[in-house]
Amino acid sequence: MVKKEYIERSHLRCFNYGVDKERKFSAKIIFGQQLFDRLEKNKTLIEVATPFMEHLYNFVKGSNFFSILTDGEGCILKVIGDEKILQEAYSLKMVPGAFMDEKNIGTNAMGTALAEKKPVQVSGEEHYIKAYHRWTCSAAPIKNPEGEIIGCLDLTGYSPQVHSHTLGMVVAAVKAVENILTKDQATFKLSVVNKYIETIINSIDEGIITIGPKGYLKLLNTKAEKFLGLTSTEAQGKKAKDYIENWDFIEGVLKEKNKITEEEIYIKGKKGKFHCIISGYFIQGKDKPQGYVCIFKEIKTARKLANKMYGKQAVYTFEKIIGRNKGFIKTLEKAKMVADSPSTVLILGESGTGKEVFAQAIHNASSRKDEAFVAINCGAIPKNLIEAELFGYEEGAFTGGKRGGSIGKFELADGGTLFLDEIGEMPLDMQVNLLRVLEEGKFYKLGGNREISVDVRIIAATNKDLKKEVEKGFFRKDLYYRLNVLTIKLPSLIERKDDIPLLVDYFLTIKSLKLNKKPIVLGEEVLQKFMNYHWPGNIR
């Protein structure tokens, strides 16, 4: 993971301050009259911020989070949260009066937000002291109407619970606090608080629905309104089960376990069905149940983000492909021509000629360039696992499978490109399943009973003569013709020997730069030997 620049700056400051990484408590904690005076001095800030702290906490209640308010120097003014995690915080003396600035306790979201004068998120080992490696913290500085930093609002939980939208919630709450501070405190009313809370909820890029205890829709945030095609007013009196498939099951889990996490469901809206991941919480009032809060994100959106962060991306473009050979240039031009076609592409060529390089370049020159590029080598996966790799599997589908199942390459590539390398090595029985997906755009996970639709462009590659494989009975004729729509034949290195000096110069330059050495120039005699060699591995 790339280190955040503000974390690097903070760690340098902590090093210069001489902060001990083994420290457990803040170096500065005030008590008694000193603390009382500071609380009195910040009375208005505490009064204004407290409702927003409570609303933030109520939104994540039961998920082991706590919220902290500090003044402009990082002194804790107030802490609220779940009992278990608060006990751990108190054991580290994260209590009112403790100073959370970097000089006294090292890198943490509150101190770093105050130092950087901007919202930050600090997770796990990004904290300078080891005792805080268990936390993920999201904090934003609070400014008065004159633009001076007067405090900081923080939401902290265990590091595995890190979510990008947590910081967005804190920032929105801080903006609300800052707006309230500009108003006359005499007009501070609950309706104003609710309006800003509504703003916080609507700023989250996920659908949020509140549902009454009898299963009727109550409130929708802006994202949920777009999904369902309803306004919150229109949603009144409508049943959740008419919009959330399998609602009875979800409701049962919520009643039994109080929450549900990342369950796959379909949301039914006016524009059709949306395949989503849903999490939900059961809300219990003082005397009776109040209903449920459900948060959902379309799987396409979630996977697109995951692919950007962690998935395989296409890094090669046509501009990065090296060659001057006339025949090779013609091949390159043909690849550029077919790049933006929706049709399947079959790339033929010996091993090491650059089939995946061309596949990535084709993807990057297509209308799908902003979507996922997913590659799978059909010859490198055991025959009994290739179906699970391509289509994914449900929990319990086979011995040794992951808990919760797994997403297959087709789903990961939804909206983008799937590169099937060494397609000639695919087992015959799997070729039938692949053909169905190519024809219908639908499949079932291994062990699953729900049909999944995908929009994937296929680029296949092989070093085999598929026509001969068809004649031998090793490759299905119908699949061959389905794949062999647009064909690109890559020449071997022997067929483009005039490119060898260019490639030699390129690779020597790259290696010299990587090793921080002076560029090497080959003598004529050595270069001639290169030209005469048969290069069985081609460019690779």
Question: 474 and 408 in one domain?
Answer: yes
Q: How far is residue 110's CA from residue 138's CA, in Å, rounded to a whole number? A: 8
Question: 255 and 171 in one domain?
Answer: no
Convert the pLDDT of each residue in 94-140 to its tens digit. Answer: 999 999 999 999 999 999 999 999 999 999 999 999 999 999 999 99
Q: Per the domain annotation, does 326 fall within a domain?
A: yes
pLDDT at 275 over 80: no
Give the percent of the chain with pLDDT over 70.
Answer: 90
Mean pLDDT of the chain: 86
Question: 437 and 332 in one domain?
Answer: yes
76 — pLDDT class (breaks 50, 70, 90): very high
Q: How far is residue 207's CA from residue 302's CA, in Å, rounded to a whole number? A: 12
Q: How far is residue 199's CA from residue 524's CA, in Å, rounded to a whole number? A: 71
Q: What is the pLDDT of residue 388?
A: 86
Tell me the sheet residues that pair with 260: 280
3-state SS of 24-88 is CCCCCECCHHHHHHHHHHCHHHHHHHHHHHHHHHHHHCCCCEEEEEEECCCEEEEEEECHHHHHH
Boundary residue ending a domain (260, 280, 299): 299
Q: Per the domain annotation, does 75 fall within a domain?
A: yes
Q: What CATH number should be reported for the domain holding residue 327? A: 3.40.50.300
Convert the pLDDT of each residue in 216-240 to its tens digit. Answer: 998 888 888 888 888 888 888 889 8
Number of domains comprising the chain = 4
Question: 388 and 280 in one domain?
Answer: no
pLDDT at 186 over 70: no
Residue 307 or residue 426, greater confidence: 426
Question: 370 and 280 in one domain?
Answer: no
pLDDT at 347 over 90: yes
pLDDT at 532 over 60: yes
Question: 425 and 361 in one domain?
Answer: yes
Q: Per the domain annotation, does 220 fall within a domain?
A: yes
Q: How far is residue 450's CA from residue 265's CA, in Å, rounded to a whole number? A: 10
Structure-token pair, residue 398: 């086979």
Query: For the residues 262-281, what does the mean pLDDT come to?
Result: 80
Question: 506 and 482 in one domain?
Answer: no
Boundary residue ending a domain (260, 277, 299): 299
Give the percent of the chain with pLDDT over 90.
Answer: 44
Question: 485 and 404 in one domain?
Answer: yes
Question: 350 and 323 in one domain?
Answer: yes
Q: Per the domain annotation, does 287 fall within a domain?
A: yes
| DSSP string over 337-370 | HHTT-SS-EEEE--TTS-HHHHHHHHHHTSTTTT
Question: 167 and 36 in one domain?
Answer: yes
Residue 204 or residue 485, greater confidence: 485
Q: Per the domain annotation, does 537 fall within a domain?
A: no
Q: What is the pLDDT of residue 403?
A: 66
Q: What is the pLDDT of residue 312?
A: 57
Q: Per the domain annotation, does 192 fall within a domain?
A: no
Under 8 Å between Cβ of 52 and 173: yes
Question: 310 and 446 in one domain?
Answer: yes
Query: For the residues 7-23, what does the mean pLDDT come to?
Result: 95
Q: Per the domain annotation, does 195 fall within a domain?
A: no
Q: What is the pLDDT of residue 191?
A: 58
Boundary residue ending a domain (299, 330, 360): 299
Question: 182 and 217 in one domain?
Answer: no
Which helix (H) or strand (E) covers residue 287, if one does?
none
Residue 63 or residue 321, greater confidence: 321
73-87, 96-110, 310-324, 489-503: least confident range: 310-324
- One-letter identity of residue 241: K
pLDDT at 196 over 90: no
Q: Per the domain annotation, does 538 fall within a domain?
A: no
Q: What CATH number should be reported for the domain holding residue 49? A: 3.30.450.40
Domain that holds residue 83: 5-186
Q: What CATH number should be reported for the domain holding residue 255? A: 3.30.450.20
Convert the pLDDT of each residue in 292-339 to its tens digit. Answer: 888 888 776 555 554 554 445 678 899 989 999 999 999 999 999 999
